[in-house]
Amino acid sequence: MLKTLLASALFAGLIAGLFAAGLQQAFLVPLITEAELYETGQLSHFGGDAAATHEQGAGTAAATHDHTAHDHATARQAGEGDSGERTVLTVLFTVLTICGFGLITVAGFALAERMGLARVDLRTGLLFGLAGYAATQLMPGLGLSPELPGSAAGGLEERQLWWIMTVVATLAGIGLLAWGNPVLKLAGAALIALPHLVGAPHPEELTGVVPPELAAHFAARALAVGALTWAALGALAGHFWSRESAAG
């Protein structure tokens, strides 16, 4: 059993982790790099002196806009020159994180099979993966959206505590909805809703320097990348689990 658990988790985690790292480099890292330029003041979403630009008339405003756009493009190109060391470390930690999630997922497989709740295969693994996505990203994202550097945020400890509470409550709620009797299903739905009734911690004032359009773009991409990653992890883990179990 232990061999099956470790092999399934590590194989699935490695493949899904590299897949996730590729998605992050393609879709998330460019937005993070740009947000860091706003955070350090190299870019400003106010486009310079807005009042002066307004008073100078249409022709001067257009010229100022072109000049600002050129400055933004130059700053973005400078930000894109991230070191290879940062990229390698990002990929490494992504793979390690996904492998950790893989271990948790296959531990769920073992528990489900031992309790006679499910027979694990690729389809079951995919469902487990989607449940993991709902618990760790989708439902927490309803209260705390994925954040870019320079975004306003509540206290770190409060956000961490709320995230943990949401993950545990969502996983327990999904389990009750999937395998509980009608009364337990109601309890599961209440558990999923509980963290959102309590409310996520937010800053008293929204003072972030990152443009809201960029933050919204990042949040949408982060949730999409998370869904694809968890789906791949669950499906791969379920496939390797069923294959290892058959071979054993």
| pLDDT, tens only, 216-225 | 999 999 999 9
Per-residue CA distances from 215 to 31, 89, 147, 152 (Å): 9, 24, 7, 11
H helix or E strand, kind and range, residue 108 = helix 84-114
Alpha carbons 234 and 88: distance in angstroms, whole number: 25
Whole-model pTM? 0.84
List Cβ neighbours of 102 (8 Å cut-off, separation of 6 or more). 8, 9, 10, 12, 13, 16, 233, 237
CB 212 within 8 Å of CB 92 = no
Q: What is the pLDDT of residues 160-217, one digit of tens each?
A: 999 999 999 999 999 999 999 999 999 999 999 999 999 999 888 777 889 999 999 9
CB 195 within 8 Å of CB 169 = yes
CA 78 from chain centre, in angstroms, equals: 26
CB 180 within 8 Å of CB 248 = no
To 5 degrees, how large is the angle CA 217–CA 174–CA 122? 80
Mean pLDDT for all residues in the chain: 86
